[in-house]
Amino acid sequence: MRVLVAMSGGVDSSVAAALLVERGHEVVGATLKLWGGPSDSGCCSVADVDDARRVAQQLGIDHHVFNLTEEFDRHVVAPYVGEHARGRTPNPCIECNRSMKFDRLLGRSDRLGFDRLATGHHARVTRNDPRGGDSVWHLRRGADAAKDQSYVLSMLGQDALSRVEFPVGDMTKDEVRAHAHRLGLRTAAKPDSQDVCFIRDAEGRQGFLSGRMELHAADVVDSAGRPAGSVEAVELVTVGQRRGMGHGTDGTRRYVTHVDVSARRVTVGSAADAMCSAVVLAAPSMTWVDRPLPAGARAVAQVSAHGRPAGCTVERSDTANGDLLVRFDAPQRPVAPGQTVALYDARDPDAVIGAGIAA
């Protein structure tokens, strides 16, 4: 097959490319230039492009750099800023996967005649025997539970899943690094990039956003409405947050229970006050790997990239617009508006069923 491999300059995508070459496919590597500003996150800087190019050279494959900075700004960075202004907590890496890697790049891969687009994500795409009549593509967690990235891929459907490959999904991170060392790849010992690729460590989220939008101070009040301090930037406060909220008069830690950006007010309470038993997922944001869950179905929810999965029931919410209500079996830390909730199969918790964004 002709396979286009998205190479970030990291060890996972390097080994993904190597595995495809070993399997005898016709492989071409591509690095996306997404961010034109300064970055030290270790993803897709000029140095990373060089790393990817050198690995491609070691593997004997062609390498291209695709400049998608304008679209990245429009589809990922600008909405990231806009969502914060509305008091929501977006996940830009999910938006990047949704709009850039598995939409824009996948389209380009098709037009250039590739059979598959491969990445170094730790996840698996499987298909039960098609001859037995099951031609549905399944998205599953990667073999290494600690590195599983199915959460950030949970928005993919049949159309995309039929055209992607995750060659390192069956390997642990240690196995990936060992493979890279064996091949003498220059990225074998390179540390993983951790943070959002367009936010520098030195500036952090606040520094980045304050350069692009107004951040407003807000009052902090307790559940009875009594003053309990203030915050510098209400747009950066998330429900369930403990940091910066101090202690109540009874000495217990305080947690954010509600954020009202327009009223410039943050409400705090006890840990128990902050827990929630359900989250509403906005209808337009729902995606399904195959078919939607029927109302009342059981599922397993994961609300962050490496969060603990939680048993739940998925129902129709009582809003008129078809939103879903995910009712947790046990109280959970609250899910902030804008966060993605990935749903896994209750009978097969490694299999992704779908995903939605908290309303």
Active site residues: 96, 197
The residues near 289 (Cβ < 8 Å, ≥ 6 apart) are: 137, 138, 139, 156, 157, 158, 161, 351, 352, 353, 354
CB-CB contact of 301 with 328 (8 Å)? yes
Question: Smallest Cα–Cα separation from 315: which of 343, 333, 296?
Answer: 296
357 exposed, middle or buried (CB, 10 Å; 0-12, 13-18, 19+)? buried
Q: Which is nearer to other proteins, 9 or 120 (CB)?
A: 9
Q: How far apart are CA 12 and CA 16, in angstroms?
A: 6
Asked if residue 76 binds other proteins (CB under 8 A), the reply is no
Q: Which of 41, 65, 136, 305 binds other proteins (CB under 8 A)?
A: 65
How far from each other are the two terminal CA atoms of the chain, in whole angstroms?
41
The pair of three-digit structure tokens given for residue 321, joined into one six-digit string? 């617009």
- CA 26, 32, 35: angle at the middle one, nearest 5? 175
Q: Select 46 or 189, whichever has its Cβ closest to other proteins.
A: 46
- The first and second tokens of residue 182, run together, are 């064996």
Residue 78 binding other proteins, by CB under 8 A: no
| Closer to other proteins by Cβ: residue 46 or 145 | 46
Binding other proteins (rule: CB under 8 A), the pick from 60, 113, 251, 294 is: 113
Kindly tell me which residue out of 54, 58, 64, 81 binds other proteins, with binding defined by CB under 8 A.
64
Question: Is the Cβ of residue 1 or residue 46 nearer to other proteins in the bound state?
Answer: 46
Rounded (5°) CA angle 297-283-196: 100
Q: Choose which of 40, 41, 53, 244 interacts with other proteins (CB under 8 A).
A: 53
Residue 261: is it exposed, middle or buried by C-beta count within 10 angstroms (0-12/13-18/19+)?
A: middle
Q: How many CA atoms lie within 13 A of 97 on its CB side?
A: 21
Q: Which of 17, 19, 20, 49 binds other proteins (CB under 8 A)?
A: 49
Cβ proximity to other proteins: between 158 and 304 the closer is 158
Q: How far is the CB of 33 from other proteins (least distance, A)?
A: 4
- Is residue 67 part of the contact set for other proteins (CB under 8 A)? yes
Sites for other proteins among residues 4-33 (CB under 8 A): 31, 33
- Site membership for other proteins, residue 185 (CB under 8 A): no
Residues binding other proteins: what is the number (CB under 8 A)?
17
**Segment contacting other proteins (CB under 8 A): 108-116, 166-174, 284-292, 307-315?**
108-116
Query: Judging by beta carbons within 10 Å of its beta carbon (0-12, 13-18, 19+), is residue 121 exposed, middle or buried?
Result: buried
212 forms part of the interface with other proteins (CB under 8 A): no
Query: Interface with other proteins by CB under 8 A: which range of 58-66, 179-187, 197-205, 322-330?
Result: 58-66
CB 37, min distance to other proteins, A: 13
Spatial strand order of the sheet with 26-33 comes to 62-67, 26-33, 2-6, 116-118, 164-165
Rule CB under 8 A: which of 328-357 touch other proteins? none
- Are the C-beta atoms of 266 and 258 separated by less than 8 Å? yes
Please tell me whether residue 288 binds other proteins under the rule CB under 8 A: no
- We find the least distance from the C-beta atom of residue 79 to other proteins, in angstroms, to be 21
The contact set with other proteins (CB under 8 A) reads 31, 33, 46, 49-50, 53, 64-67, 70, 107-108, 110-113
